[in-house]
């Protein structure tokens, strides 16, 4: 499964709940990058400048990370990717990786929320978690990058019959119930 939506849509929160419910790992490229930054690994040092500016990390750094993670045993029976793919070239790379593993996607959950609500949430998170990519300029830039580079991916997956749009407004529990309902439906290729 994939979970998609603009920054601040609540992907990470919902991804954790789905992971628990279906006993699959929730794999968040953003979390992986942040833990590398915190631990000052070579990857962390390399990606920090992109993330702090609200830009995407280059595909060649992101793709290998994801294929390594998907090859780990806990992802063998299913997984939920949060924050990947974000570019068309990442979509192609993921297609190849999954084909090589003899597996494929069956649900792409798209969380929908309006921009004002999202910006409000991100401001709140900036205060609570001290994320360096949650300042006002950077928040605006991340929304732009999402609209330019990632929103078009939804059409690609919609053509494959995999997209389930879920209203991301409401309490965490309400949204989680909608997500679970979407996942219980068969994909419709």
* Maximum Cα–Cα distance across the chain: 43
Residues carrying an active site annotation: 11, 86, 125, 131, 142
**Cβ burial, residue 82 (10 Å; 0-12/13-18/19+):** buried
Q: What angle do CA 97, 100, 104 make, to 5 degrees?
A: 70
70: contact with ligand ADP by CB under 6 A: no
Work out the angle between the directed axes of helices 42-53 and 59-70 (0-180°, nearest 10).
Answer: 120
- End-to-end Cα distance, the chain: 15
Judged by CB under 6 A, the residue of 3, 62, 79, 110 near ligand ADP is 62
Question: Judged by CB under 6 A, does residue 157 bind ligand ADP?
Answer: no
Q: Is 12 annotated as a binding residue?
A: yes
Give the number of residues written for the chain.
189
14 lies in the binding site for ligand ADP (CB under 6 A): no
Which positions from 116 to 135 touch ligand ADP by CB under 6 A, shown as an x/- string? -----------------x--
Among the listed residues 15, 18, 37, 56, the single contact to ligand ADP using CB under 6 A: 56
Q: Does residue number 33 form part of the binding site for ligand ADP (CB under 6 A)?
A: yes
- Residue facing ligand ADP at closest CB distance: 30
The enclosing H or E element of 62 equals helix 59-70
**Residues in binding site:** 8-13, 29, 34, 55-57, 83-86, 90, 125, 131, 142, 170
């Amino acid at each position: 499964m994939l979970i998609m939506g603009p920054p601040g849509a609540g992907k990470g929160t919902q991804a954790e709940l789905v992971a628990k419910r279906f006993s699959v790992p929730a794999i968040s490229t953003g979390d992986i990058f942040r833990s590398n930054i915190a631990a000052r690994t070579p990857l962390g040092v390399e990606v920090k400048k992109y993330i702090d500016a609200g830009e995407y990390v280059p595909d060649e750094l992101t793709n290998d990370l994801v294929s390594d993670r998907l090859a780990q045993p806990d992802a063998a029976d299913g997984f939920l990717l949060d924050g990947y793919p974000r570019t068309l070239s990442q979509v192609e790379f993921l297609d190849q990786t999954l084909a090589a593993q003899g597996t494929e996607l069956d649900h792409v959950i798209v969380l929908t929320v309006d921009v004002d609500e999202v910006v409000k949430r991100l401001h709140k998170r900036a205060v609570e978690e001290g994320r360096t990519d949650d300042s006002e300029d950077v928040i605006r830039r991340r929304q732009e990058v999402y609209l330019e580079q990632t929103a078009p991916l939804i059409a690609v997956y919609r053509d494959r019959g995999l997209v389930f749009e879920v209203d991301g407004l409401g309490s965490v529990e309400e949204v989680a119930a909608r997500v679970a309902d979407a996942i219980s439906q068969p994909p419709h290729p």
